[in-house]
Amino acid sequence: MPLLNMTVNGRPVSVEVAGDEFLAHVLRYTLGLTGTKIGCEEAECGACTVLVNGQPVDSCIFPALKAQGAEVLTIEGLAQNGELHPLQRAFVEYGAVQCGFCTPGFIMTAKALLDRSPQPTEEEIKSALKDTYCRCGCYLEIIDAIKVASGQSPTLTCSDGRLPRSPKALRVVGNPVPRPDAVAKVTGQAKYTDDYAFPNMLYGATLRAAYPHARIKHIDTSRARALPGVHAVLTHEDIPGDKHHGLIFNDWPVLCYDKVRYVGDAVAIVAAETPQLARQALELIEVEYEPLPVVTDPEQALAPDAPKVHQQGNLLKHIKVRKGDVAQGFAEADVIVEAEYRTPMYEHAFLEPECSIARVAEDGKIEVIVGSQIPYEDRRQIAKSLGVPEEQVRVKGAFVGGGFGGKEDIAAQIHAALLATATGRPVKVLYSRQESLRVHPKRHATVIRVKVGAKRDGRLVAVQVHILGDAGAYASLSDKVMTRAATHAAGPYEVPHVKVDCYTVYTNNPPAGAFRGFGVTQSAFAVESTMDILAHRLGMDPVELRRRNALRTGSTTSTGQVLRESVGLLECLDKVAAHIRRELRVEPDGAWWRPFPNPADPARVRAWGLAACYKNTGLGGGAPDRGGAEVEVLPDGRAVVRTAAAEIGQGLPAVLAIVVAEELGIPYQHVEVALPNTDVTPDGGPTTASRQTYINGNAARMAARRVRDILAWAACEELGASQDELEFREGFVHARGKRLPLGEVARLAREGGRQPLARAVFEAPPTAPLGREGDMHVGFSFGVQAVLVEVDTRTGEVVVLKAVSAHDIGRAINVLGLLGQIRGGIIMGIGNALTEEYPVEGGLPYCTTLSRYKMPSIRHTPEIVSYLVEDELSSGPYGAKGVGEIASIPTAAAVANAVYHAVGVRIHKTPVDQDWLLRTLKAKSA
Amino acid sequence: MGRWQHYYRPRTVQEVLEILAHYRGQARVVAGGTDLFVELLEKPPAFEALVDVTAIPELRTIYQEGDWIVVGAAVTHTEIVRSALIRQRGTALAEGCSVIGGPQVRNVATLGGNVVNALPAADGTVALLALDGEGQVARANGSAWHPLLDLFRGPGQSAVDPTRELLTALRFRATGPREASAFGRVMRPQGVALPILVAAATVRLNGAGTHIEEARVSLGPVAPTPFRAQRAEAVLRGAPPDAAVFRQAAEVTLQACSPRTSRYRATREYRVEMIRTLLPRVLETAVARARGETWASPRFEVADKYSSFGCWLGG
């Protein structure tokens, strides 16, 4: 093999490389510089950016031998003598890091920019970062960080130059503190699953279905097994336990046996000495198929003579929401509006593709390292298929490069464990971006018909909704997702008569599952578009129509839940409406929705549009919802929080550290948050349903208080004070003019026979299933967003220039993370509205590469103004509710409503098709 | 990794030709690789060796030779965008090259690669066509210049066989006094980042600025290969540079070319409408530049800038 001589981070390096090896591989796998990430191998995402002779390049497709004699700089070479580079410091401080997978690429791209242009303008920054993607959507924070690092003023700060804090801020709670893992992420030290390696490790690969729907007649693996370097080739016959997995319905074959039902189905798995050999072995596996007719869409699937995807039929579930009598409601209505909407499948496009590493550990247990959203659920499903008790399996978390719901289902966890047990060696199964696009569940494509009846004064009297959701080949979380779509389908309004029928249906398309917003994203688009149609039909201000019907304390939801507290919707509406009116200088009763031209180019027309929404916090629907956390105070006075609640970028470690620091009275920096490990960390439940701050924020708070009680017991005697005289602050226990360091108190507790450690499980108040009496959810967050769009009437292009949001999140704990979630959610919502779609035809996805799926870039990022409404929920930690999903739910409808206000064309289908829009405009003016 | 065995980085054109000859069709030329390596994700390679031409010094230079500006085939998009010579005297090319990808891609992707990849809507290529570009191809039996259009056989099909020959340079006629070029494109926010339409034009005005003396117009994708709109050029030649003439230029172009509906990208009707919208705008900009009025880009700007960002007001 040829020798590659180069300088990496100032050190000469000489390594053997293969002729077809790319630089990112050499850096990561030969040199162990895993700070450089691989997100796509298509030069699309920019996560792999390194500097070669000072120039940023995508190292994932940069031939290694091209770096012969070059100077290469990676993220690991940026900090000097332990001192962070100004860019790294600013990224940490200004919240420009969430999941962190894109962070090294951004910092390296920004470094090259600053080397050329020490004080770049905002336009230069956007131009430089145009093709570097952050799926968490920290673009505005990144711009700020680059400004700060280059000595300019940030823009997301308040007039006093400081980052915003909550008016209800406590000592730590409500203050803008950096993430505890931010430094590890900006230096490239944070380890994601693929960054781990074990001696003797093998590499797995998966044979995928050749057809979207076919009977498997025969599988012959003999030629693959015979290939030297191949250590295992497994099929369904080699699964000792359950041959299926599934989060609710156990319907998804670990390895297919009778049929394949979509193109991402796994048929066989291989472990070999190298990833190349493993892939080569796949080509030697012979599968004889009998292609079957393909069920391509839910309408077709429900036809009586449709081919069956599963034996029990294609209707997975019919979900009904009933309140009052819609027939009576419509009879009372003065105005009735009906409309139909379509939303496509969307792809999560988390920048870190799925990866699992399994090995038989020194203690004999099967250990799986995986960045998933539900570590304990992974453990259950792995054990079930291996046919071993759950305690025999240990799932260890790693840093997770984004999830958004797409890492809830099993990916390669079971496959890796099967291969590791079969070979007795560690096995890594890493999906390529292209495999990831093909395999994991998407957002449900829907067809939604809405019928709304109202009185002349705007009062809603009846809402009837029909939803058809494409579940794809397997159930995944379809039942719950579509239930959420249905229960929220009448919008955040009090409506006396509601009837929703939601059908979720099997097809041979990729499965649909959890995706930020969880069904509500789709139904909110439909109902909020319809609310605007109704407002204009009634000649009413869309804000006023919503105000009149908005849920408030004492209201009853569509499922019959009486809201007793924490309903900040009206305040959200008022804040956003006031902002738009201020900006447009219109009177409180003035028409803020009128279009106006871009002053420099009148053919580009602008207008505001608005939408409201609500979203449950927590699982609800009768599901037991609990999470556990453990807090320990170490001898040096620092504290550790342990929970298997997955952090996927949303900021949970900051929430946990803030809560513990607040309760123990120690500096925030003194709290460490451990990664999940099912042997050590208590079950935190799934990272889903915007629940982690609420559930595990509570659990950590309870555990911290228990530890504090233990410490108080130990400190009393030493300080000669009673418990209520003690004060925990600044890392000391104070009483009677004396103080003891917390570490010392922890030691005293140990000596006294009590460990300064406590576990707590927070159990959410019970909820009732849909259709039964009682509260379906513990609480709801509320959100209102308005966007200013500009439509180019010559091209049909739509741009969001500005977004204003107000969210009632109960209480702001982790302000930096909270605002990051909101801004990122809005940007993802803009993706839903304008850039993203995952079309499937005949069961074949169009987006076989990331280059065919456009997520919003820094170029799509508008100015964002965010208001927070803190209407506390009594069962939440300090009153907090969830924010993860609510931030992205109303955006698409707000964009559609703004487009209507700008050019008078109603968008019934996302994303907005500029081609269609222009043709419609032309037809309208003709 | 089994995709190809060898990766060569020769220093001379002669060496490239020798390696290609040695492999008898089993080796091919690569430059930036930003298209090739992505294509290979879905299509296994049919060659044993890659011959990287980006280390050949003569392929990396930009220089003026009489009326021509010569751009080495391995000059990167970044180098083109930063070249003062090209920005001033081949503005459309600098613009076309500036919109491709982000800096990471532009730092390695080459103009030669853009031409040999032969996509009918390639930004750099369409711009070069409006500048009367030519390409120099080196073969075992010598080297020759060809009009740019002769280098295309069909969509994605180049007349340059990368297993036997290589494109060594591109050249175009530098714009002179009262002469300028411009480039514009329309994108779709979804799906692949291939333009729905690109258009470029070069115009030369008479001394008084009342008439167009010479015009060259190019477009893509409106035909299987990058398209030179000769009928539009005929309309423009000798005509006053006004909106009615530009509109007419677009109309005669529509008669001469055949934009298609392409799934997930654009309908034929939309492309027709975009020719009517974009072409006049590009011509307008080129004329304004020829008059020395403006250097404004005809690209549709993504968003206007707001002066103040909001701050969270709390509560």
CA–CA dist A326, A318 (Å, integer): 19
Q: How far, rounded to the nearest angstrom, does the alpha carbon of residue B24 sit from its chain's CA centroid? A: 30
Residue with tokens 């770096």: A67
Judged against a pLDDT cut of 90, whether residue B312 lies above it is answered with no
C-alpha atoms less than 13 angstroms from C-alpha of A736 in its C-beta half-sphere: 10
Tell how many helices (H) and how many strands (E) occur in chain A: 23, 36
Cβ contact A703:A662 at 8 Å: no
Domain that holds residue A23: 3-74
| A606 interfaces chain B, CB cutoff of 8 Å | no
A264-293 burial: b if 16+ Cβ within 10 Å, else e: bbbbbbbbbbebbbbbbbbebbebebeebe
B148-162 burial: b if 16+ Cβ within 10 Å, else e: bbebbeeeeebbbeb
CA distance B307 to chain A (A): 10
Beta A202-208 vs A798-808: how paired, if at all? unpaired
- Cα Dmax for chain A: 89
Which amino acid is located at B95 in the chain? E
Count of CB atoms situated within 10 Å of the CB of A218: 8
A678 within a domain of the structure (yes/no): yes
Asked whether the beta carbons of residue A158 and residue B312 sit closer than 8 angstroms, the reply is yes
Instruction: Note whether A862 and A755 are same-domain residues.
Output: no
Q: What is the DSSP string of B101-132?
A: S-HHHHTT-BHHHHHHHT-TT-HHHHHHHHTT
Percentage above 90 pLDDT, chain A: 99
Nearest beta carbon to residue B190 from set A62, A804, A854: A854
Count of CB atoms situated within 10 Å of the CB of B314: 18
CA–CA dist A231, A607 (Å, integer): 62
CA–CA dist A181, A166 (Å, integer): 22
A339 within a domain of the structure (yes/no): no
Supply the CATH number for residue A130's domain.
Answer: 1.10.150.120
Cβ contact A594:A901 at 8 Å: yes
- Number of residues written out for chain A: 926
| A343 interfaces chain B, CB cutoff of 8 Å | no
Instruction: Note whether A463 and A508 are same-domain residues.
Output: yes
Give the pLDDT mean for A416-426.
98
The CA-atom distances, in angstroms, between B73 and each of B17, B32, B88, B113, B168 are: 15, 11, 20, 7, 5
Give residue-wise pLDDT tens across range A129-148.
Answer: 999 999 999 999 999 999 99
Domain boundary (A728, A744, A763) is at A763
Supply the CATH number for residue A57's domain.
Answer: 3.10.20.30
A529 within a domain of the structure (yes/no): yes
Edge-to-edge, what's the strand order for the sheet holding A732-735?
A: A727-729, A732-735, A738-741
B80, containing H or E segment: helix B77-82
Per-residue three-class SS string for A599-629: CCEEEEEEEEEEEEEEEECCCCCCCCCEEEE
Q: What is the pLDDT of residue B308?
A: 21
Judged against a pLDDT cut of 50, whether residue A718 lies above it is answered with yes
Give the pLDDT mean for A492-514.
98
Instruction: Note whether A701 and A723 are same-domain residues.
Output: yes
Q: Torsion over CA of A343, A345, A351 and A354, rounded to 10 degrees?
A: 150
Nearest beta carbon to residue B33 from set A61, A167, A834: A61
Give the pLDDT mean for A746-760.
97
CA–CA dist A819, A815 (Å, integer): 6
Q: Assign B41 a pLDDT band (cuts: 50, 70, 90).
A: confident
Q: What is the pLDDT of residue B306?
A: 24
The two structure tokens encoding residue B77:
């998009």
A46: left (phi over 0), alpha (psi -120 to 50) or beta: left
Judged against a pLDDT cut of 90, whether residue A525 lies above it is answered with yes
Residue with tokens 């978390």: A397
Cβ contact A307:A802 at 8 Å: no
Instruction: Note whether A576 and A506 are same-domain residues.
Output: yes
Edge-to-edge, what's the strand order for the sheet holding A259-260?
A: A259-260, A214-220, A286-291
Cβ contact A481:A346 at 8 Å: no
The CA-atom distances, in angstroms, between A911 and each of A197, A343, A908, B194, B270 are: 41, 8, 9, 18, 17
- Give backbone dihedrals phi and psi of B227, rounded to 5 degrees, phi first: -115, 130
Give the pLDDT mean for A517-541.
98
A346 within a domain of the structure (yes/no): no
A362, containing H or E segment: none
Nearest beta carbon to residue A63 from set B33, B101, B196: B33
SS3 B4: coil
SS3 A721: coil
Cβ contact A384:A236 at 8 Å: no
> Who has greater pLDDT, A287 or B298?
A287
Asked whether the beta carbons of residue A128 and residue B315 sit closer than 8 angstroms, the reply is no
Q: Give the chain B residue nearest A914 (alpha carbons).
A: B188
Q: Can you say whether the dihedral through the CA atoms of A50, A55, A61, A64 is positive or negative?
A: negative
| A834 interfaces chain B, CB cutoff of 8 Å | yes
CA–CA dist A661, A58 (Å, integer): 41
The two structure tokens encoding residue A678:
């099912």
CA–CA dist B111, B95 (Å, integer): 13
What is the number of structural domains in chain A?
Answer: 5
A731 within a domain of the structure (yes/no): yes
Give residue-wise pLDDT tens across range A650-703.
Answer: 999 999 999 999 999 999 999 999 999 999 999 999 999 999 999 999 999 999
Q: What is the average pLDDT score of chain A?
A: 97
The CA-atom distances, in angstroms, between A739 and each of A662, A713, A734, A745 are: 18, 15, 4, 10
> Who has greater pLDDT, A297 or B295?
A297
The CA-atom distances, in angstroms, between A866 and each of A544, A655, A806 are: 21, 20, 6
Asked whether the beta carbons of residue B312 and residue A819 sit closer than 8 angstroms, the reply is yes
Q: What is the ipTM of this complex?
A: 0.95
Asked whether the beta carbons of residue A63 and residue B186 sit closer than 8 angstroms, the reply is no
Instruction: Note whether A745 and A792 are same-domain residues.
Output: no
Residues 419-438 of A with CB under 8 A from B: 432, 434
Domain boundary (A74, A101, A116) is at A74
Supply the CATH number for residue A699's domain.
Answer: 3.30.365.10
Nearest beta carbon to residue B304 from set A167, A598, A795: A598
- Give backbone dihedrals phi and psi of A108, rounded to 5 degrees, phi first: -70, -40
Instruction: Note whether A367 and A500 are same-domain residues.
Output: no
Instruction: Note whether A790 and A887 are same-domain residues.
Output: yes
Judged against a pLDDT cut of 80, whether residue B296 lies above it is answered with no
Give residue-wise pLDDT tens across range A878-922.
Answer: 999 999 999 999 999 999 999 999 999 999 999 999 999 999 999
Q: What is the average pLDDT score of chain B?
A: 91
3-state helix, strand, coil in chain B (%, to 5): 35, 25, 40
Supply the CATH number for residue A286's domain.
Answer: 3.90.1170.50
CA distance A44 to chain B (A): 8
Cβ contact A123:A848 at 8 Å: no
Q: Strand ranges (DSSP E) for A48-157?
A: 49-52, 55-58, 71-73
Give the pLDDT mean for A296-312.
96
Judged against a pLDDT cut of 70, whether residue B298 lies above it is answered with no
**First-to-final CA distance of chain B:** 58
Going by C-beta distance under 8 Å and a sequence separation of 6 or more, which residues neighbour residue A594?
Answer: A607, A901
A537-569 burial: b if 16+ Cβ within 10 Å, else e: ebebbbbebbbbbbbeeebebbbbbebeebbbb
Which amino acid is located at A336 in the chain? I
Q: Assign B302 a pLDDT band (cuts: 50, 70, 90).
A: very low
CA distance B62 to chain A (A): 19
Q: What is the pLDDT of residue B313?
A: 25
Candidates B272, B248, B223; CA nearest to A919 is B272
Q: Torsion over CA of B281, B287, B289 and B290, rounded to 10 degrees?
A: 160
Candidates B120, B118, B117; CA nearest to B260 is B120
Q: Assign B2 a pLDDT band (cuts: 50, 70, 90).
A: low
Instruction: Note whether A858 and A886 are same-domain residues.
Output: yes
A572 within a domain of the structure (yes/no): yes
Asked whether the beta carbons of residue B304 and residue A132 sit closer than 8 angstroms, the reply is no
Instruction: Note whether A223 and A168 are same-domain residues.
Output: no
CA distance B57 to chain A (A): 14
Instruction: Note whether A721 and A787 are same-domain residues.
Output: no
Going by C-beta distance under 8 Å and a sequence separation of 6 or more, which residues neighbour residue B22?
Answer: none
Q: What is the pLDDT of residue B300?
A: 31
Instruction: Note whether A58 and A111 are same-domain residues.
Output: no
Q: What is the pLDDT of residue B17?
A: 98
Q: What is the pLDDT of residue B294?
A: 56
Candidates A16, A9, A108; CA nearest to A65 is A16
Eight-state DSSP code of residue A639: E
CA–CA dist A770, A40 (Å, integer): 41
A843 within a domain of the structure (yes/no): yes
Nearest beta carbon to residue B190 from set A18, A159, A911: A911
Nearest beta carbon to residue B302 from set A274, A848, A859: A859
Q: Assign B311 a pLDDT band (cuts: 50, 70, 90).
A: very low
Instruction: Note whether A816 and A889 are same-domain residues.
Output: yes
Q: Which domains does chain B have, with CATH numbers?
A: 6-52 (3.30.43), 57-173 (3.30.465.10), 179-290 (3.30.390.50)
Eight-state DSSP code of residue B177: T
A924, containing H or E segment: helix A914-925
Q: Torsion over CA of B279, B280, B281 and B284, rounded to 10 degrees?
A: 130
Q: Which residues of A touch B306 (CB under 8 A)?
A: 801-802, 863
Radius of gyration of chain B (CA): 20
Q: Which residues of B touch A166 (CB under 8 A)?
A: 314
Residue with tokens 């839903």: A832
A803 within a domain of the structure (yes/no): yes
Judged against a pLDDT cut of 80, whether residue A830 lies above it is answered with yes
Per-residue three-class SS string for A461-505: EEEEEEEEEEEECCCCCHHHHHHHHHHCCCCCECCCEEEEEEEEE
